[in-house]
Structure 1
Amino acid sequence: MFKKKTVSILCSIVILTTLVFSVPKVDAANPAASTIFKGLWYVIQALDNKYYSVPKSVTTTQYAVTTTPGSVAFNEGKNGGIAQIDFNVTSTGHSVNLYASTSPTGLVTLRKINLSVSKGSSLLASKSAHHTQYLFYRPNSTGNHYARFTTTEKRTWTPYVSYRFDAGGLPVGGSSIVANAVPVTVSDEDLINAPSGTYLKPSEEHMNIVPEKPTKSLNLSELNMQFFDETLEMPVLKMKDYETGDTVLFSDTLSKVEYESETDQSNLYFISNEEPIQFKGDLTNSYFKGDKINLSFKVVSLDEEFGLNTVDYLKNYLDSDLVPHIEEYIVD
């Protein structure tokens, strides 16, 4: 089951981490961490298209090795939009997962990063992933591979590569939805494979909460807290007080509106939360600081067996990568 460590959910843009790992007993099924991850992480420099090295942190368990460089501020300062680590596949019976975390206060924010696994010039697996999703790869050959995390936007992400000593495809170490967290140990039963991706399973306590539907609208901070699992001390995709089919009324006051011309989307920031929500198009001439925004979301299912759910705003994005228009959710 889930073995919890103390974690911080505060987002940081510090790039450096120290090299810390304990080496498990080396055998054919469970090689040493240094056999899998031999080198450093690399981050491409913005101006000259060259890489500079970043120290890695490595966590080992009986079943896996997980590495991260800590938080990387992509496309800021000298940083470009690519982070990479080389890894050595020692058996085709092993498996690899890539995932990246960003701000835990923005679970419903529409942000994705491109994840990929390559060998030489061959692209073997790729996925555009929300920070609650994983890219799974089961190798068909041994030898040197590399993982890349790529984004064109200015944003801090914490990349993880988890190498499992079996073909189960379930990562051990690191949460995909807690930014800059100390990696935690996860067993196979702690993750759920749903049609839209692989997600962390909520605790029994969270799953058994008796819904108490709020009688008032939620602000953005309250909406995010609907997904916070008090037992695991991290967000999960299961609302506390709403069930599939319910309506969530949202109301919050704008603190600013920003337009991203390269993606043709607007970021709406609210006074209750530091992370924005996004809508298609330029809304800078339609909504202003101090405006009260009222939205209506439907709660929709992510899987049949475990009851994972989220608001349709996020589910539609997970399924299509398309940022919705505000008219789909705005109410008077």
Structure 2
Amino acid sequence: MNNHFKNIEINDDIELKMNIYNLDTCIVNSFRRIVLSDVISNAFDKIIIKTNTSIINNEILSHRLSLIPLEIDIDDIDNICVELEVSNSDYDKKFVTSSDLKVISGKINIIPNILLVELRHGEKISLKMYPIKGNGKKHAKFQPVSVCSFKINEDVRIKQDIWDKLSVKSKKTFRKYCKETLSLDGDHYLYDNSIGAYGFKNFNENTKNKIVTGVKKYLSDNGIMDEDENKDVVIFNDQYYNKKYVYSFKLESHLVNPYIIFSKILYQFNQKIIDLQNKDIEIDNQSCNVGVCFIIEGEGHTIGNILSKELQKDDRVKYSYYKMKHPFDRKIM
């Protein structure tokens, strides 16, 4: 784990950020694909509407209710029932939110204050709903995260002639300034004149323009160069480590500690590899004039990308690729 996942941060108990080392792009992308399609989660699915006189029809209302985020691990899910009984006798509009939901059996946590519908005078909603387990392959409402993405880190360095003007002590101070003030990652420096790594930007806090401006200001304040000097001082390049890209990875969960979700991603990834070893792989020589064509049932882009990349590393293989004819046809060739 320590060789691959570093600088792990959890913010506000919902956001996980980390750097990933020594893994191919197909592996890192498989983490994103698995959490969006394979990790088992919970959502309201069976929704029984008794009365609905609101402007929102039953289908749209059911869809909104099913998208309310739930916990990923729920005990005794079959015995949970949630009720919504609301009406509006006033002439002002009434806002119905997830806080109006009442758990009448079982135990479940529901995020409050999620707007569901507006009720006008005399309108009423009466319904019951039950959660079930599922994954993103079945419906997006089962996805346990709202955001999951990754990008290649960029190494940030300054021109060598300017770097050489700094003393050893000044270089350490400069890198410390870049880490604390410009939010650059100081875990790994690709070049001797690197000052940090640039991953995800935090809104408008650490954009590339602000990094360049901050570097020029620091060098100007220390008499290395003039702040108004029109010179390209900062260089951005893809960051490598052991000849592989370094990635920034981020996910945001709903109600669950994101570290738990990432643990489930790794478990599902390992399970996919184990299941692949136990699958009956069909050889189809009719679809290929040269080489060998394998057909693997029940798999998609996640395994297809990984197999293709790993086969390309074998010196005996001239080329390898895969195709998936249709998203609903769960097999790869």
Q: Larger Rg: 1 or 2?
A: 2
Q: Give the structure with the larger helix fraction.
A: 2
Structure number with greater CO (CA < 8 Å, separation at least 6) is 2
